[in-house]
Amino acid sequence: MSLTDKAIAQIRDLIQSGDLPPGSKLPPEQELAAQLGLSRSLAREAVKALSVARILEVRRGDGTYVTSLQPGLLLESFSGAVELLQAHPGALLELLEVRRLLEPVAAALAAVRISDDQLAELHGHLDAMRDSRDDVELLNRHDAAFHHTIVAATGNTTLTAVLDAISGRTLQARIWRGMHDSQSAVRTLTEHEAILGALSQRDAPLSQAAALLHVSNTEKWLREHLRTEQPAAG
């Protein structure tokens, strides 16, 4: 174990123990290095590693601070890991399976917690998707926003961050590009309408079923598509 790794562990422990609460300022590089008992370069490496993980935030010319440590922030690194996971063959289908398990139950929970404002927001995204059948990029964005809003309606920021990450912007973009030509896009729209209808009635089981149907169809589409365009699945 290198000195830098020890330094990282020390700083992490200070945060976890409460000695460095969220938002607090770390000593200057020189002092920090002295306290950790190593050179400035190594202290810099430790700080860099922690700031990439969104645990520390460096403000040039000012100082280094502990971030808010909120789930959405810390799980950004998780999102980055998922992006790289897609390079690993098979991980893509695993990822989609996790989503197939999690998103329906999240929708069910959202059904009993969603507010009228959030329902209106979902309506807005759905309308926008109908209007923008020609613009794949815009379509993709509203689709992602639609699903994000549903999960966010659970009020669970950790759950939201996890699902956002495994939904994967890159992956979704690929799917939408592939589906654009076919009639799948139309079916997807009706699936969204079914989900929104169930949520509007605050019907948890129905919401869960509609979400499961949607994700399963997406998964099925991708599974078939991966077989045909094998070479592009890098």
**Which residues in this chain contact DNA in the complex, by CB under 7 A?**
2-4, 26, 28-30, 32, 38-42, 44, 47, 58-64
Applying CB under 8 A, the site for a second copy has a residue count of: 52
Which listed residue (3, 27, 48, 226) binds a second copy by CB under 8 A?
48
Using the minimum distance from each CB to a second copy, give the nearer residue, 82 or 139. Answer: 82
- Residue 185 is inside which H or E element, if any? helix 184-200
Q: What whole-number distance in Å separates Cα of residue 13 and Cα of residue 11? A: 5
Q: Nearest to residue 184, comparing CAs of 131, 228, 221?
A: 221
Q: Nearest to residue 217, comparing CAs of 102, 128, 100?
A: 100
What's the angle, vertex CA 138, arms to CA 118 and CA 106, rounded to 5?
A: 35
Residue 31 identity (one-letter amino acid): E
Within 10 angstroms of residue 18's Cβ, the number of other Cβ atoms is 8
- Residue 220 CB, nearest approach to a second copy (Å): 17
The reply to whether 234 sits near a second copy by the rule CB under 8 A is yes
63 binds, among DNA, a second copy, none (CB under 5 to 8 A by kind): DNA
9 binds, among a second copy, DNA, none (CB under 5 to 8 A by kind): none
Q: What whole-number distance in Å separates Cα of residue 67 and Cα of residue 12? A: 12
Using the minimum distance from each CB to DNA, give the nearer residue, 10 or 132. Answer: 10
Cβ contact 49:43 at 8 Å: no
124 binds, among DNA, a second copy, none (CB under 5 to 8 A by kind): none
- Residue 183 CB, nearest approach to DNA (Å): 50
The reply to whether 1 sits near a second copy by the rule CB under 8 A is no
* Strand ranges for the chain from DSSP E: 56-59, 63-66
Which listed residue (41, 115, 182, 201) binds a second copy by CB under 8 A?
41
Cα–Cα separations (whole angstroms), residue 11 to 22, 60, 119, 205: 13, 20, 43, 45
Using the minimum distance from each CB to a second copy, give the nearer residue, 98 or 186. Answer: 98
- Residue 59 is inside which H or E element, if any? strand 56-59
The reply to whether 88 sits near a second copy by the rule CB under 8 A is yes
Q: Which residues bind a second copy (CB under 8 A)?
A: 2, 4-5, 8, 12, 15-16, 18, 22, 41, 44-46, 48-49, 52-53, 55, 60, 68-71, 74-75, 77-78, 80-81, 83-88, 91, 94-95, 97-98, 101-102, 104-106, 109, 156-159, 162, 234
